[in-house]
Chains A and B, each alone.
Chain A
Amino acid sequence: MAYQLYRNTTLGNSLQESLDELIQTQQITPQLALQVLLQFDKAINTALANRVRNRVNFKGSLNTYRFCDNVWTFVLNDVEFREVTDLVKVDKMKIVACDGKNTGSNPAE
């Protein structure tokens, strides 16, 4: 099973919104909606792993980190993002990261 963390993105949220509507109007069953969502997980995991190579550098001070159920979480303070076009500063940033290669296990389980 692929990671589910991308469900909480603009794309994932829009998909779920549409699926919710289809279920509420009884045009599809929740089982079918689940299959669509699982397919979405698979597709977005592959696409992000294979098709994206854009890079952004950032630095900041590490406040907290933990590694639990194969999910890394980092909380950073005073982070500076440097891209060619811009420098963006944020006070607080949370990074949730999973091993992109190890899609065999599922952190949500």
Chain B
Amino acid sequence: FGPTLSLHPLAFTLCPLALHQLYYDPNIENKNLAQKWLMQAQISAQAWQFCWALLRPDKVPEIQYFGASALHTKISRYWGDIPAEQYGTLKTQLFSQIALFASGSKIVLTRLCVALASLALNMMPEAWPGAVGEMVRAFQEEGGAADGRARCLALLELLTVLPEEFQTSRLPQYRKGQVRGALGREWAAVCPLLQQLLRQPESPAPVKARALKCLSSWVLLDVPLSESEGLLEAGFAALADPELFDTAVEAIVNAISQPDSQRYVSTLLKLVPQVLQLQEQLREAVQNGDMETSHGICRIAVSLGENHSRSLLEQVEHWQSFLALVNMIMFCTGIPGHYPVNETTSSLTLTFWYTLQDDIMSFEAEKQTVYLQVYRPVYFQLVDVLLHKAQFPTDEEYASWTSDEKEQFRIYRVDISDTLMYVYEMLGAELLSNLYDKLGRLLTNAEQPTSWQHTEALLYGFQSIAETIDVNYSDVIPGLIGLIPRININNVQLADTVMFTIGALAEWLADHPVMLSSVLPLVLQALGNPDLSVSSVSTLKKICRECKYDLPPYATNIVAVSQEVLIKQIHKTSQCMWLMQALGFLLSALPVEDILRNLHSLITPYIQQLEKLADETPNPSNKLAIIHILGLLSNLFTTLDITKQEEESGDSAPPIKSTPPQTGPNPVVVVLQQVFALIQTVLSKWLNDSQVVEAVCAIFEKSVKTLLHDFAPMVSQLSEMLGQMYSTIPQASALDLTRQMMHIFASETDHFPPIKALFELVTSVTLTIFQQGPRDHPDIVDSFMQLQAQALKRKPDLFLSENLDVKAVFHCGVLSLKFPEAPTVKSTCLFFTELLPHCADVPPVGQVVQDDGKLLLLAVLEAIGGQSSRSLMDQFAEVLFCMNKHCFGLLTVWLKEALQSPGFPSSRVSNEQKDTFSQQVLRERVNKRRVKDIVKEFTLVCRGLHGTEYAAEY
């Protein structure tokens, strides 16, 4: 046939050899070679001939499979090769091969069926009207080698793969619609066949199983549910047969959950009693611990409930049967045993409860009230069931679980927690009082000993809700807090949940500070227990954050306990950091002299330790200790903020804060000044260690961010230190800190000169790095470009200075555009988009653009041409847009010159395409979005991706 790749006429004789190599040769290179050759052979023009030869009965199944597979590839992908007059022959040949293989190898049979299915889809509807009818007739005729049963199974296989092949086929969109319609009409031929096979009592199980699979496959085409009613009935009957159970479940679930099925309400109503009838089988399965069966039945019930709750709720006269279905699902939710060890079914049901709730809540008020009367009690019951399922097993049992099972159980509890939180929307405050009553009864019942698991689950329920929902108006919280001390905390899990519950109530405590005295002692006590590290520290942090203005009376105590646990090293590093943040919040609300006193006692031991460490010769263990102490200070200063924040502001301008009247400098500044010399000593020894330098910079960065203009007294000495640091060993973190100070102090004439000097110094040092080869320092280049961009944004007149080599900075930028590190390239593009607008008002900038702007353009075009990642194209488009906007005349000339050279920026673009691109770009001086689209289009052409489905979906 067509003009595809050509092989030697005898090439097919090599196929068996190549296949043998592919399957059995131990040498991977030979395997690869064989595979490559076979793939080429498969798409060659000769494949049409040799595939039939490979299918001959004297060949082994591997070879026959290759032949069948080659046929399918040719039909599905090279359909255009086949002249219309040969369709008939091909069809007849395929039919007879399928008939032959009906009692042959199963894998070859399936491939042949897929090939015939592909043929049918390509010919439908005009060239092969009534295709399915013909298939059915062809296989029902007596004769051939295969017996009736084998032919029947082959036919079912063919009918099963037909819709599947349609789902994966590459038909063009318009054909897809046509073929889908044609297939839908063919259902009329399939349906009675399946009906007959499923209903005949004498049909053997394999035939029934195959018929159910066929049904599964067809319902995905959205065939009308009403028409498969009878088939579904047969499917329900098949559930009693263990051999057919799984396939029947699949078919029923597929039919129920197809989107179109909601239109057939009367069929859905008929399905409800059929599902309810499965309850007996479900109970039995649960009793016998038959997880597969209970899982399957639950899937059916849930798919009906989940997909059709709205339609079924609306059938008011059938409310009782729907309620029965809901109760059946409730039974599945509460299935006995612990998830995931004794059962895995209950988790299937959780989304159903969301859906049902959503549907009820979306009714108009009057209707909703009626439904709520029926369903509120159901949801209260659900809460009980869920809290029961969330209970931990006995200690012994839990100890026997694997870590994987424990993790699954944790996930399951999170899902339950989410469900409870959602259910609260429907049940409201009454849910909390309900939980409170239960907890109260449990804790005050002197007769029955309570299990910790029960108490824990109830608290977990509270916590799930209080964590995200404002419980301010609930009147049971004081009672709950009153109950907490009555809990006999004899277990770590319980203690954790108590802590988290208190943490969840932090916002409530801020409005009810009197209650703080009853919970704080518990939290402080837990702080000393390493098993409760995460829960106790995070709870203290939440309380300190939310209630800082009410905590001063407790501050001494909190600081003392924290200090003790820090010294005893009870917590891991990250918890120590959180604890420091908590203390930062706590101290923020104290009078300045108290802050200083507390700070002094809190950090003195660390300062002494740091002094000692600074004297030692650097080694890995004292490095960790130093970083730990610096981290503690950073975290403390992150949250220690004595101003009251009025409003959060964006990145564009430094936030404005109102400072309460105070005397003397900010306590953080006092401390920073005291430790400054020490930090310098540490640095002098660790200057070439980026982690220590980072940790030092972090202290100042955090402080600058919190103190803002209060940081002013430190600016001069810090600038000097950073300059020294950077000149000795350049590190990115020093540049980031410089940028931060630039951002905050750009408009303060008093404090800016040291920053200006620092900026000029770091710029000249970085330029030296560029001379020596910047490729090893993409992080420095990234931070450098960000700093330059910040400078242009906040203080463009820095670029007027004689001490700044604008031309060199510009060239560094052009170099950096070619870096493979995406963040560096992004920062560099940002630098240029900040630079170009100053062409007119900053003469040195105008000059360098005029002189060397073409280099920038070439770099941008190269990147678009395929040298840079496709995800960065928007950034490059912005640079191009800026050039167009601010130096249009130059761009016009440069663009013309640049694109003239053949093969630039890619050998894949023609001169016409380049012309169109430059015209389009030059035309857009207002619409940035358009330029981005133009660049995106052009880059695809340059990369050979234009028009591919791969890039289209991007």
Contact = CB atoms under 8 A, between A and B. Distances in A.
A24 B944 contact: yes
A29 B653 CA distance: 49
Contacts of A108: 953
B431 to A, nearest CB: 19
Given A37-B953, A55-B414, A85 B870 contact: no
B512 to A, nearest CB: 20
Contacts of B415: 53
B950 A34 contact: yes
Given A24-B944, A53-B415, A31 B949 contact: yes
27 contacts: A7-B954, A16-B871, A19-B950, A20-B870, A20-B945, A24-B944, A30-B945, A30-B948, A30-B949, A31-B949, A34-B950, A34-B953, A37-B950, A37-B953, A53-B410, A53-B411, A55-B414, A78-B648, A84-B534, A84-B538, A84-B541, A85-B538, A85-B578, A91-B650, A104-B259, A105-B259, A108-B953
Given A30-B945, A37-B953, A84-B538, A13 B411 contact: no
A105 B410 CA distance: 31
B650 A34 contact: no
Nearest to B952: A34
A89 B870 CA distance: 31
B866 interface: yes
B10 to A, nearest CB: 28
Interface string A40-79: 0000000000000101010000000000000000000010
B871 A17 contact: yes
B468 interface: yes
A89 B467 contact: no
A7 to B, nearest CB: 7
A45 B948 CA distance: 24
Contacts of A17: 869-871
Given A16-B871, A31-B949, 11 more contacts: A13-B869, A16-B954, A20-B870, A20-B945, A53-B410, A84-B538, A84-B541, A84-B578, A87-B545, A89-B648, A91-B648
A23 B945 contact: yes
Nearest to B939: A20
A20 B873 CA distance: 13
A19 B953 CA distance: 14
Interface of A: 4, 7, 13, 16-17, 19-20, 23-24, 30-31, 33-34, 37, 53, 55, 57, 78, 84-85, 87, 89, 91, 101, 104-105, 108
A87 B545 CA distance: 10
A105 B260 CA distance: 13
B574 interface: yes
B538 A20 contact: no
A76 B870 CA distance: 29
B953 A4 contact: yes
Nearest to A12: B871
Contacts of B871: 13, 16-17
Contacts of A53: 410-411, 414-415
B671 to A, nearest CB: 23
B950 A31 contact: yes
Interface centre among B545, B866, B954 (most CB of A within 10 A): B954
B801 interface: no
Given A7-B954, A13-B871, A34 B948 contact: yes
A30 B869 CA distance: 16
Contacts of A33: 950
Interface centre among B415, B578, B869 (most CB of A within 10 A): B869
A30 B948 CA distance: 7
B886 interface: no
B943 interface: yes
B743 to A, nearest CB: 16
Nearest to A108: B953
Interface residues of B, number: 29
A18 to B, nearest CB: 10
A68 to B, nearest CB: 18
A108 B870 CA distance: 20
B6 interface: no
Is chain B's interface secondary structure helix, strand, loop, or mixed overall? helix
Nearest to A91: B650
B351 interface: yes
B5 to A, nearest CB: 14
A56 B411 CA distance: 14
Nearest to A87: B545
Contacts of B351: 101
B180 to A, nearest CB: 15
B951 interface: yes
A33 B945 CA distance: 11
A30 B945 CA distance: 7
B468 A57 contact: yes
A23 B944 contact: yes
Interface string B526-549: 000000001000100100010000
Contacts of A19: 950
3 smallest CB-CB distances across A and B, nearest first, come from: A30-B948, A34-B950, A30-B950
Nearest to B867: A24
A89 B655 CA distance: 13
B468 A16 contact: no
Contact of B866 (A24, A30, A84, A104): A24
A11 B382 CA distance: 40
A89 B648 CA distance: 9
Given A17-B870, A30-B949, A23 B410 contact: no
Given A23-B943, A53-B410, A34 B648 contact: no
B648 A16 contact: no
A17 B574 CA distance: 35
Nearest to B535: A84
A33 B578 CA distance: 45
Contacts of A89: 648
B468 A20 contact: no
B648 A20 contact: no
Nearest to A35: B950
Interface string B924-946: 00000000000000000001110
Contacts of B259: 104-105
Contacts of A34: 948-950, 953
A104 B221 CA distance: 12
A57 B943 contact: no
A19 B954 CA distance: 12
Contacts of B574: 85
Contacts of A78: 648
A89 to B, nearest CB: 6
A75 B356 CA distance: 27
Interface string B356-395: 0000000000000000000000000000000000000000
Interface in B679-728: none
A83 B306 CA distance: 32
Contacts of A85: 538, 574, 578
Nearest to B650: A91
Nearest to B638: A86
A57 B870 contact: no
B425 to A, nearest CB: 15
B444 to A, nearest CB: 32
Contacts of B945: 20, 23, 30
Nearest to B410: A53
B177 to A, nearest CB: 13
Interface string B411-448: 10011000000000000000000000000000000000
Interface string B188-231: 00000000000000000000000000000000000000000000
Contacts of A104: 259
Interface string B69-96: 0000000000000000000000000000
A31 B43 CA distance: 15
A104 B954 CA distance: 19
Interface in B856-889: 866, 869-871
A84 B943 CA distance: 45
A86 B491 CA distance: 28
Interface centre among B467, B950, B954 (most CB of A within 10 A): B950
